[in-house]
Amino acid sequence: MAVDAIPAPGCRPRRNTELVLILVAQTVGLSAYLLTHLFRDNALPPAWLPVAAVWYGLGVATSLVVRWRAPYADPVLLPTVFALLGLGLSELHRLSLGLTELNLQFHYIAAVLGLVCFAAVVIILRDPRRLQVYPYFLSLVSFVLLLLPLVPGLGVEVNGSRIWINLFGFSLQPAEIAKLVLAASFAAYLTEQRDLLAQGGRKFLGVHLTRVRDIGPILLMWAVSLVIMVYEKDLGTSMLFFGLFTVMLYVATNQFRWLVCAAGLAVAGGLAAWRLFPHVRRRFVYWLDPFSVPDDATQILSAQYGLASGGLLGTGWGLGRPGLTPFSFNDMISTSLGEEIGIVGLMGIIVLYALLAFRGLACALRARDGFTKLFATGLSFGFLLQVFAIVGGATRLLPLTGLTSPFLSQGGSSLVANWLLVALLVVISHEVRRPHPTAKTDLAEEETMVMSARRLRQVAVGPVGPLLAVAPGQTPQPADREGPDGEDVPTAPIFPAADPPSRPPERQTATPAGQPPGQSSAPAYEQPFNQPVEQPPLTPSGQPLAPSGEPLPTPPADLPSAPLAGQPSTRLTGQPIAQPTDQPPGLPSDRTADPASPEAAR
């Protein structure tokens, strides 16, 4: 039982902590900017005061937006982003001092635009589960975005990769946005289909048919990845999407066979690409033995020389020569930073990335519904996979693939897309951390299990009795919560009349402070997926709740009251035991737990 995955109702907003952390993180970036000029010119940049004002202003504004619309959001996300963004902007500015071809005007605009998009998402998208509604539409959008660069006249081939589209004179990289849409569509699709995917082959007689149906999506993703690799010549994006899909599929089904299947497909595709495409082969040569082709592997070699010249502690801001490396501002921004702030600094950046990704994953662990779990996992894993691929590529851990380093690389599409990603994580973390009126049992332990009728009976009988032994008005003790894992606690209507009419008032106010009674009625999408039954909101004691928050009139108390709680078998009279069994096995009604369960009171 993953206790840590259950949100405590008293999760504090911690917005002030966040603001302080944002200001500290911003100071890191600003210092980098000032140090660059101090080291290079022995003088502060002329416009440093306005720059600092705008920079801190943006940080405070972002913090205010979050305070307003997502007060329970994870307070670490935004400071991490501002630290990365500050370092990235400073390094890009520093590179532009030596590289005349590097024009950062659009990048700065994109940085602000990204913040606006962040604010818009945080303000508009109150609940991430709204994205769950259109899985096929989202898939379509993401595939269109992915394949847009192949449209003649629209797509542009830059530096050998056809991953750009030209729109009204602006170059955009639709794959950056597609990453997010794809994560959402995967999550929505898999939430819907995961039981089928998990159980296919066993459930139906037509084994062969089911398998084709199961394998269909993964084959489709594989095909799309290959198309990206072959026609857009974008190894990184191809790998990123396939990896993202595979991992989300695995999380949704908890079945290793999908990983094995995907690994097989990836190896097959990789080998085919190796045989067919010289540019893929070259990447491997540049990775494994760049010194054998010093005239071709200049980029990776120069990046290595740069890191070596920086050493452990770096040359200092503005004192290295990162501009010698081709694409020092884009693919190689991590080694450009590594040259100037050292291996130690680069490790710090990797840790910042990891921090962001793992805070996202923590949201996934705490989330109460499958979609949010999958979505947060996908966003976090996809983010870290991208970091792994590009930083690993730049430091010769992996073959170099042309991905962007989030928040560091020059490029507006990437910056805006990553701000959107953070916005989604903020919204998710707010949703996950905010106190909920109806406590839920933990989806964490929800295994895709086949439940026997015997087990169901056990579940119905075993753990519930002690629960009911809690007298009205009495705080349930955690020890009460016995039973196997608790996730199979039957739905509340089983015990419609557990409480006498004269209930003490404090039980009614079990909804946490700050939550208006009107909001305590859970929206429809908080119901368990695949469970069509809409149930009335419940009071903490399991009573249906009127929209006003007042308890509905209790039904006639024809059941034994509390003092008889020690005899659970006598209380099963008339309970709608058939309801859980209506559902397919493995779909426990986890979301409709009795709010009177210990989690709610804790």
Partner 1 sequence: MNRPIRLVGLVMSLMVFALLANLTYFVVGREPALAADPANQRAVQADFDRQRGQILAASTVIAETAPAAAGGAFSRQRVYPNGPLYAPVTGYYSYVYGSRGLEHSFDKELAGTAADQWWQRLADTLAGRTPVGATVQTTIDPVLQQLAAEKLGDAKGAVVVLDPSTGAVRALVSSPSYDPNKLASHDFAAVEAAWSDLLADPGKPLSNRAARETYPPGSTAKLVVAAAALAAGYSPDSLIDTPATVQLPNSSSVLPNASACGNSQQTLANALRLSCNTSFALLGNQLGAEALRNQAEKFGFNRTHLDAIGDAASVYLARPDDKGDITPVEPDQAQLMMSSIGQWEIAASPLQMALVAAAIANDGVLMEPYLVSEIRAPNLNVLYSHEPQPSQAMEPADAQALQEMMLGVVASGTGTRAQLAGTAVGGKTGTAEWQPGQPPYAWFTAYAHDPDVVVAVFIESAGGEASDTAAGQLTGPIVRDLIAATR
Contact residues: partner 1, CB under 8 A? 2, 5, 40-41, 97-98, 247, 250-252, 254, 294, 301-302, 304-309, 311-312, 319-321, 323-324, 338-339, 343, 346-347, 350-351, 353-354, 357-358, 361, 364-365, 370, 373-374, 377, 380-381, 384-385, 387-388, 391-392, 395-397, 442-447
Calpha distance 105→136 (Å, rounded): 37
Residue 101 or 534: the one with the smaller Cβ distance to partner 1 is: 101
Q: How far is the CB of 312 from partner 1 (least distance, A)?
A: 6
- Amino acid code (one letter) for 175: A
Q: Are 66 and 419 in contact (CB under 8 A)?
A: no
Residue 55 or 388: the one with the smaller Cβ distance to partner 1 is: 388
Residue 249 or 596: the one with the smaller Cβ distance to partner 1 is: 249
> Which run of H or E residues covers position 429?
helix 412-433
- Tell me the backbone φ, ψ of residue 545, rounded to 5 degrees: -110, 130
Residue 342 or 402: the one with the smaller Cβ distance to partner 1 is: 342
Q: Are 145 and 417 in contact (CB under 8 A)?
A: no
Q: Are strands 170-172 and 161-167 parallel, antiparallel or unpaired?
A: antiparallel
Q: How far is the CB of 505 from partner 1 (least distance, A)?
A: 36
Residue 472 or 586: the one with the smaller Cβ distance to partner 1 is: 586
Sheet containing 161-167: which strands, arranged edge to edge? Answer: 155-158, 161-167, 170-172
Residue 418 or 541: the one with the smaller Cβ distance to partner 1 is: 418
Q: How far is the CB of 56 from partner 1 (least distance, A)?
A: 27
Q: How far is the CB of 556 from partner 1 (least distance, A)?
A: 40
Q: How far is the CB of 419 from partner 1 (least distance, A)?
A: 21
Q: How far is the CB of 567 from partner 1 (least distance, A)?
A: 36
Q: How many CA atoms lie within 13 A of 225 on its CB side?
A: 28
Residue 310 or 437: the one with the smaller Cβ distance to partner 1 is: 310
Residue 164 or 189: the one with the smaller Cβ distance to partner 1 is: 189
Residue 18 or 485: the one with the smaller Cβ distance to partner 1 is: 485
Q: How far is the CB of 540 from partner 1 (least distance, A)?
A: 25
Q: Between vectors from CA 451 to CA 445 and to CA 452, what angle results, nearest 5°? A: 150
SS3 538: strand
Name all contacts of 553-561 with Cβ < 8 Å and 24+ positions apart. Answer: 554/497, 554/499, 554/500, 554/501, 555/496, 555/497, 556/497, 557/497, 557/500, 557/501, 558/497, 559/495, 559/497, 559/498, 561/500
- 544: which DSSP letter? B
Q: How far is the CB of 581 from partner 1 (least distance, A)?
A: 22
Calpha distance 17→21 (Å, rounded): 6
- Amino acid code (one letter) for 589: S
Q: How far is the CB of 414 from partner 1 (least distance, A)?
A: 19
> Which run of H or E residues covers position 377?
helix 370-394
Q: How far is CA 375 from CA 141, 404, 544, in A?
A: 17, 21, 31
